[in-house]
Structure 1
Amino acid sequence: MILQSSTLSVKSGMASEFESSFRKAQKLLAGTRGYISHELHKCVEREGRYMLLVRWQSIGDHVVGFMGSPAQGEWQAALNEFYEREPESDHYIRIRLD
């Protein structure tokens, strides 16, 4: 499993509109092959800062499957107007600690 972590910076005063649009757009993620689950978190200390966590079966499911699909274009059309700057994303694998 791969965990995608994306930092989203939303323009001042647009948080409610962003969250509403995100609720509609999230089906685009869920419909992608290899998608497992996702969570959206709002930062307590910084206004307009969000963390999107998406679990994928593989990195290819995100980078090739979603990013190379028409759904990605729809995702951008629905959400890009809210971003102060381009979201930053990284991919992580779990380290067993036991």
Structure 2
Amino acid sequence: MVYEIAVLPVHLERTEAFKRAFSQVEPLLTRAEGYGGHLLAQGIESPEQFNLIVRWRSLKDHSPGFEQSDDHQRFMQGLEAYFSAAPNVYHVEGGAFPGF
């Protein structure tokens, strides 16, 4: 199991609009090959920072898979106007928290 972690910096005054925009493009993510679930979490101390954590079956399912798809292009086009800087994306390997 591979997790994509995307740190999404959003203009503070646009956080509510960003959440609405994300819900509009979310189906583009959830129908991707190898998609296994996701969590979009807003920062508490820094509410303008969102963390998108996506579980992928393999790294190839995310990159190049989803990242090179038309759905990814439309996904990003639906969100890019809300970003205050470029998102930072990286991957980790592992399983779920013990006991969950």
Fold match by TM threshold 0.5: yes
Q: Which residue of 1 aligns with 2:11?
A: 11
Gaps spanning 5+ residues in structure 1: where? Answer: none
Give the paired residue count.
Answer: 97
Post-superposition CA distance 1:56-88 (Å, at most 9, x none): 000000011100100011011100000001110
- Where does 1:27-38 land on structure 2 (aligned, <5 Å)? 27-38=27-38
Moved over 3 A (4+): none
Gaps spanning 5+ residues in structure 2: where? Answer: none
TM-score (norm 2): 0.92
TM-score (norm 1): 0.93
Q: Which residue of 2 aligns with 1:81?
A: 81
RMSD of aligned alpha carbons? 1.6
Q: Which residue type is aligned with residue 71 of structure 1?
A: D
Q: Percent identity at matched positions?
A: 26
Q: Which residue of 2 aligns with 1:20?
A: 20
Q: Which residue of 1 aligns with 2:55?
A: 55
